[in-house]
Structure 1
Amino acid sequence: MTQSHAPIAFDNSYARLGPGFFARTAPTPVAQPGRIALNRPLAERLGLDADWLDSDAGLAMLAGNASPQGADPIAQAYAGHQFGGLSPQLGDGRAVLLGEVVAPDGARFDIQLKGSGPTPFSRRGDGRAWLGPVLREYAVSEFMAAAGVPTTRALAAVTTGEPVWRETALPGAVLTRVASSHIRVGTFEYFAIRGDIDRLRTLADHVIARHYPDAGDALGMLRGVIARQAETVAQWMALGFIHGVMNTDNMAVSGETIDYGPCAFMDAYHPDTVFSSIDRGGRYAWAEQPQVAVWNLAQLASCLIPLMGDDTDRAVAQATEAVHGFPALYQAAWLRRFAAKLGLANPRSDDRALVERLLTIMANARADFTRTFRGLATGEAAAGFTDPAPYRAWERDWQARRPDLAVAAAANPARIPRNHRIQAAIDAGVTGDFTPFHRLVAATGAPFDDRADWRDLSQPPGDGEAVRVTYCGT
């Protein structure tokens, strides 16, 4: 790999934590990189030179063919509970953290290449990504950012000019991912299960300084993570989003949504909806996500107990109390988000029943989640019900609450990155045509803008178009 004099001022605080936290490893160069997308607004947010990133030298960096000067490429170590079972060593098996940058406003961000080749944590994998998951993560993460959800971001996507073998040969790609950090619940588990208290403390101090400077100690940090996750999961629920693989290694302690693998948004609403091909028992169904978040946070709490003083019983009680505070925080965030979807800026406690009644009517009718809620703002909600009578009865009670339709319009996107539209963009991309992908990213990147030329992207899937199963893509 060549050295590149990139105009990027890296400051790599995680790499300075020392041995044990990562394995130093460089991206594996690819045969013939090609441009798919560059997120210029995000580049400007980071203080990066977008024109340089769009140059041949920038493309070489984004593909992993050139190591930018000042970078310290590493694969991070972590463990994780996967579908409830502990895997003591996972780590970045197909991702390399190039380094960190400090934006003009002082915020710190990781820049990571995903799909950049094998690392010491690859577990016999090829470390590559094929085009489909790269396009999916780019589109979905940028929609989430536009919708105001804490999330990792996509800075760029490039092709590799090399095939990736899964069941067949598929075109390879690399995603450049940006996050406030890539530290996970599973990162804490990695050191806790090894009894490595010194590194566990070093990690906690790093997270406090980076994400929770007012926390003061490990208990304060735990409370901060719980509060942020309550808000994030409530936002997922309000968008009909299903993460698909809420393992502890896929929960960021920053509160950002991370690892868009078999994720999807509901079309027809039902609380038990699952898309992920590996979630055969429905552990991570839409309605189960808050409970899974509590379970994951309990694992984090267990890791932090050794850092919470010499009185173990007291530490356990404090950590337990903190985790038990999640439901109240989540329910408050849930009511605030869903009340806004109904146009109620100042919700009352009895508005919960009003929301739940509508969701029940929608589930019974398999009404489209996004279009029904958007229809409250436009007066078109009833059109989504074959038998509108139950909805009309609910509507009378809703109107009695005197909803503000401007509030509803601001809370309900006109478009989401629907599964069938993502699949269509992937299918076209495999042939080398990225026009549908760019159109989808543009339209879902302005999700509340009801432009006439994007209205076809608001439509639910037609006959034969529905995508009912999604895949991790590894």
Structure 2
Amino acid sequence: MRTLTELKFNNTYSELPSVFGTQINPQPLADPFLVSINPGICDLLELDVSEASTDFFVDLFTGNDELPGFCPIAMKYTGHQFGQYNPDLGDGRGLLMGEVLTSQGNKWDVHLKGSGTTPYSRQGDGRAVLRSSIREYLASAAMHGLGIRTTHALAILSSATPVYREQVERGSTLIRIAESHLRFGHFEYLFYTSQHAELKLLADYLIKHHFPDLLKQEENVPNRYAALFHRIISLTAEMIADWQSVGFAHGVMNTDNMSVLGLTFDYGPYGFLDDYNPGFICNHSDYSGRYAFNQQPSIALWNLSALGYAFSPLIDKALIDEALNTYQPQLQQYYSQKMRSKLGLAEKLEQDSALYSEMFSLLASQAVDYTLFFRTLSTIPKDALTDSTPQFEELFTCTAALSQWLQHYAERLELESADDQTRLKQMQAANPKYILRNYLAQQAIELADKGDFSMVDQLLLVLGSPYSEHPEYENYAALPPQWGKELEVSCSS
């Protein structure tokens, strides 16, 4: 493990032409302090976790000190927001501080969120608040714990600097770690400003640093870019399948919030399903329901089509359409695999679609807690299924329809060859006990506002291994209170 001054940097993005961003230093926060550090992300960077307890760490990531290896840059991009193209986007409150190179040759972006104004702040103050920083910090840990590709968060720092939202809040920073911060919007920016040479340069950059296997197609350059687009489509399809399988709603799937590496990115008004509601809208600002839970698969395709349009100077339209036509089959394949694992089904049979349809109708009709239904199901032996309705009584208002479905499920399991113990083990590895419910995040935020960060750290621990038992934190796996289901979360969150 290394100290901060021993980190090695390979700042490749800052070597690109100036049209890709603006070099600018973070603006200091007053009287800064550490809120929480994620030891697992320290390991990714090969950084000694004890560094977080030093004044240098706190000062460095709140704009009060400098590290020679850093080369802060605000990235320029554009994107479609709620379906409308917006040319005035970019890192308005964040900076790519540098790219850390590990001993294994892995490269990690170190990004500071809440670092002050940049040329892309659009009359904003460039600041983040403790509330939103905690939400992203815990969400990225939760998604990583669930095995879903995501950006990471190394630490939260806060300060005495006042930030004005609906009320006065503490200015804070989140240290975000990612393989790359390249978005669909980076390519849209270069396309819509007719910077086609730079568009090709960025595509080449992406291939070189993240898809080097595609360099083997140098002899046929157009196909190389088509192969890149195919790869982005595949990664996006897998990400969306992951979201749908665990009941995660992103809330603001603008193209500037879409990662070209299929990473869950820019956590704002997100939410995990409590009661199963296919039309769940987690973003209070989403008046039309554009980004509702059940719309996410189609919105991802819409966003990929926008990216394909941006790639049109590099790829023939026929190849773009051909690639886009692969999205739906891949999504269905990934999602089918995920859902079969959740039900412990190794075989894929035609009759399974009816079983799933009956199950989802049942969950929706009685607003059953999505996570606890599957977790409860993953603890019941096959021979006990038809008599297991009492175990679900807390989740269902009426168990008659459930009893019928359990009978159908038990009959389906008779067609499986795996032993019951193997099935249950597989199901428990696919159905988390702990998710980041909005009310838990809100409780952690309220305590943190009073200077108590213990719940942030407790949730960090539990969400890091959500499939495991944590007896001391059993209350975090309980049904949410009614008020917890009614919390409103908006883009400002």
TM-score scaled to structure 1, two decimals?
0.95
- 1:383-424: per-residue Cα shift (whole Å, max 9, x none)? 411111111111112112327111111100001011111001
Partner residue of 1:335? 336
Q: 1:271 to 1:453 in 2, by over 3 A?
A: same
CA distance in 1, matches of 2:101, 2:411: 50
Whether contact under 8 Å (1:38, 1:54) holds in the other structure is: no
**1:82-161 counterparts in 2 under 5 A?**
82-161=81-160
Whether contact under 8 Å (2:8, 2:102) holds in the other structure is: no
- 1:106-138: per-residue Cα shift (whole Å, max 9, x none)? 221100000111111001100001111100111
CA distance in 2, matches of 1:50, 1:439: 17
Partner residue of 2:245? 238
What is the letter of the counterpart of residue 198 of structure 1?
Answer: A
Cα deviation, residue 381, structure 1:
4.2
What is the letter of the counterpart of residue 196 of structure 1?
Answer: Q
What is the letter of the counterpart of residue 358 of structure 2?
Answer: R
Cα deviation, residue 460, structure 1:
2.3
Structure 2 residue aligned with 1:406, among 425, 437, 456? 425
Whether contact under 8 Å (2:7, 2:101) holds in the other structure is: no
- 1:51-102: per-residue Cα shift (whole Å, max 9, x none)? 2243111111122222211111000000010000000120000001101012
CA distance in 2, matches of 1:164, 1:322: 45
CA distance in 2, matches of 1:54, 1:381: 46
CA distance in 2, matches of 1:167, 1:111: 29
CA distance in 1, matches of 2:348, 2:115: 47
Partner residue of 1:326? 327
- 1:433-458: per-residue Cα shift (whole Å, max 9, x none)? 11121111111111011222221101
Cα deviation, residue 210, structure 1:
1.8
Structure 1: gaps spanning 5 or more residues? 309-314
Aligned residue pairs, count: 465
What is the letter of the counterpart of residue 351 of structure 1?
Answer: D
- Partner SS state of residue 401, structure 1: helix
CA distance in 2, matches of 1:103, 1:401: 48
Runs of 4 or more consecutive aligned structure 1 residues displaced over 6 Å after TM superposition: none
CA distance in 2, matches of 1:185, 1:473: 22
Structure 2 residue aligned with 1:223, among 202, 225, 230? 230
- 1:12-56: per-residue Cα shift (whole Å, max 9, x none)? 111111210011111101111111111122112212232224311
Structure 2: gaps spanning 5 or more residues? 218-223, 381-390, 417-422
CA distance in 1, matches of 2:43, 2:354: 44
TM-score scaled to structure 2, two decimals?
0.92
- Partner SS state of residue 246, structure 1: coil
Partner residue of 1:70? 69
**1:340-379 counterparts in 2 under 5 A?**
340-379=341-380
Structure 1 residue aligned with 2:402, among 366, 378, 391? 391
Partner residue of 1:444? 463
Cα deviation, residue 5, structure 1:
7.4
The answer to whether residue 477 in structure 2 is matched with residue 470 in structure 1 is no
CA distance in 1, matches of 2:84, 2:482: 39
CA distance in 2, matches of 1:348, 1:115: 50
- Partner SS state of residue 56, structure 2: helix
Whether contact under 8 Å (1:15, 1:74) holds in the other structure is: yes
- 1:177-209: per-residue Cα shift (whole Å, max 9, x none)? 001100000000000001100110010001111
Partner residue of 1:317? 318
Q: 1:107 to 1:351 in 2, by over 3 A?
A: farther
Cα deviation, residue 353, structure 1:
2.9
What is the letter of the counterpart of residue 238 of structure 2?
Answer: E
- Partner SS state of residue 284, structure 2: coil
Whether contact under 8 Å (1:34, 1:161) holds in the other structure is: no
CA distance in 1, matches of 2:441, 2:412: 37
Structure 2 residue aligned with 1:273, among 263, 266, 280? 280
Q: 1:186 to 1:41 in 2, by over 3 A?
A: same
Cα deviation, residue 339, structure 1:
1.0
